[in-house]
Amino acid sequence: MLSPRFLLLRSAASMATRSFCTGGALKQGRTPGRAPDMIDVRNRLREIVGASTNWSDHQQAMTERVSLSNMLANSQKDLPAKTMKDSYLEVHLPLGSEPQLREKYLTYHNTVRFGRILEDLDSLAVLISYSHTHNPELKRSPLSIVTALVDKIDMRQHTVYPDCDIKFTGHVTWVGKTSIEAKMHMSQYCNGAYAPVLDATFVMVARDPENKRAAFVNPLKPEGPEDEKLFQEGEANKSRRVELSTASLLKVAPTDEERKVVHSLFLNTLDTKTVSFRSRVLPPNSVWMEDAKLKGLEICHPQERNIFNRIFGGFLMRKAYELGWANACSFGGCRPSLVAVDDILFQKPVEIGSLLLLSSQVCYTQGKHIQVRVHSEVFDPLTRQHNTTNVFHYTFVSDRDVPNIIPNTYGESMLYLDGKRHFNQTVEH
């Protein structure tokens, strides 16, 4: 028997479908009444902010959005509270029934490109947030809602089939004054039923129409014990993020236990013949950290823009993931499976026309697991300046034991400890 909450969510999903079909779906000649897909999601996002698919028109639309500033709330108290079911969405990815769509998601090895899934999750998280802040009296939303952080993506199964339909569901689970947490779930239709594939938690932030300053969002009103539990988990997630930021190795020294780990690594690399601080040898079945890097470059073209004329965050996640996966594959000597995506921080937007430098580093290994960190930065060839935009953390698992990664400098040792921290969080989760 279905629970009352599930019935409510299905009802909300039905309303969301009707909302989609009155907008971009019919304009694309798609079938009314069927479940919305990712094309509908992106069409709806463009409608919400008044964006255009044409580059020149898009620039003009962004200029016109400045006039929406007077529609922003002066305080969160001025906005009506919303419930979790108000933002609930169900979106389908018909890989089984649409072969042409399948080509976009297919890998050479006949699996699904996870980088494409990251793009879809990012778009869905934005639309969920707009659903929470929806004001039926306004034709265009004055809010610029962007991804601030991918808190966690946990894989429930490693295999995603390219010829079976996928379903995404999600809704807002926590709200601050200007930030929103959205939880999403992905499942795939196999053997007559949908089986869970992954759980994702994104943190979004609302800003003014020019994306220059923070803007208030509707408060969230939990309904019932299940909603209250999700809201409290959101509060705990916020506290955990603050604690981790405070304890960052870029701010404070390692713990006593971590210092012992670094010293043990150092002792294991001493040359027993010379016993010198400068004489280091690589232990058996090990790789120096400096030899476990892979780099890439992307020129950011208008085609990859988001609805606010910046480079789409999902595109950045896809490129970083593919580079990180390639590095893990090269390091482990086989095709690894993703275990978790952790703590992707969007520090700075990437402008169209930027030169995006991506650098992946295997920073920690344990048994069959490989922890990869990908650092992205924009480079201005005229000023020669580098600015960090994102840091990505991925946990992969191989089908065999992998070499130990060994740091050789103090900076590499901090990367090692940071990777160990992220790996432990994934294992403990």
Residue range 386-405, pLDDT digits in tens: 999 999 999 999 999 999 99
Contacts of 251 (CB under 8 A, 6+ apart): 245
Q: How large is the average pLDDT for residues 298-319? A: 87
Predicted local confidence at residue 65, as pLDDT: 80
Distance, in Å, from the CA atom of 297 to the CA atom of 359, rounded to the nearest integer, reads: 9
In the chain, the largest separation of any two C-alpha atoms, in whole Å, equals 79
The torsion angles phi and psi of 40, rounded to 5 degrees, stand at: -65, -40
Q: Which two tokens stand for residue 229?
A: 């539990």
Closest CA to 208 of 70, 305, 115, 366: 70
Q: Which of 45-54, 65-74, 187-196 has the lowest mean pLDDT?
A: 45-54
Predicted local confidence at residue 168, as pLDDT: 97
Predicted local confidence at residue 326, as pLDDT: 96
Contact 150, 211 (CB under 8 A): no
Q: How large is the average pLDDT for residues 273-302? A: 89
Task: Considering only residues 211 and 269, tell me which one the structure prediction assigns the higher pLDDT.
Answer: 269
Half-sphere exposure at residue 244, Cβ-oriented, CA atoms within 13 angstroms: 15
Q: Which amino acid is at 164?
A: C
How do residues 111-133 score in pLDDT, each as one tens digit?
899 999 999 999 999 999 999 99
pTM here is: 0.86
Distance, in Å, from the CA atom of 345 to the CA atom of 149, rounded to the nearest integer, reads: 5
Q: Residue 26 pLDDT more than 50?
A: no
DSSP state of 321: H
Predicted local confidence at residue 58, as pLDDT: 63
Predicted local confidence at residue 29, as pLDDT: 36
Task: Considering only residues 194 and 308, tell me which one the structure prediction assigns the higher pLDDT.
Answer: 194
Domain ranges of the chain: 4-245, 251-428
Among the four given CATH numbers 3.10.129.10, 3.40.50.970, 2.40.128.640, 3.10.20.520, the one describing domain 4-245? 3.10.129.10
Q: Using 50, 70 and 90 to split pLDDT, how confident is the model at 279?
A: confident
Q: Which of 46-60, 81-95, 409-423 has the lowest mean pLDDT?
A: 46-60
Distance, in Å, from the CA atom of 162 to the CA atom of 107, rounded to the nearest integer, reads: 9
Predicted local confidence at residue 76, as pLDDT: 95
Predicted local confidence at residue 204, as pLDDT: 95
Q: Which of 4-13, 36-45, 73-82, 312-321 has the lowest mean pLDDT?
A: 4-13
Q: Residue 223 pLDDT more than 50?
A: yes
**Residue 159: helix, strand or coil by DSSP?**
coil
Distance, in Å, from the CA atom of 176 to the CA atom of 76, rounded to the nearest integer, reads: 10
Strand intervals (E) in 68-178: 89-93, 144-155, 166-175
Q: Residue 273 pLDDT more than 80?
A: no
The hierarchical CATH code for the domain 251-428 is: 3.10.129.10
Predicted local confidence at residue 2, as pLDDT: 35
Contacts of 19 (CB under 8 A, 6+ apart): 44
Contact 156, 198 (CB under 8 A): yes
Q: How would DSSP label each residue in 220-280?
A: B---HHHHHHHHHHHHHHHHHHHHHHHT-TTTSPPPHHHHHHHHHHHHHTB-TTT--TT-B
Task: Considering only residues 311 and 198, tell me which one the structure prediction assigns the higher pLDDT.
Answer: 198
Sign of dihedral through CA atoms 71, 77, 78, 79? Answer: positive
Predicted local confidence at residue 51, as pLDDT: 75
Task: Considering only residues 323 and 346, tell me which one the structure prediction assigns the higher pLDDT.
Answer: 323
- Calculate the alpha carbon distances from 265 to 258, 407, 412 in Å: 11, 8, 12
Task: Considering only residues 47 and 60, tell me which one the structure prediction assigns the higher pLDDT.
Answer: 47
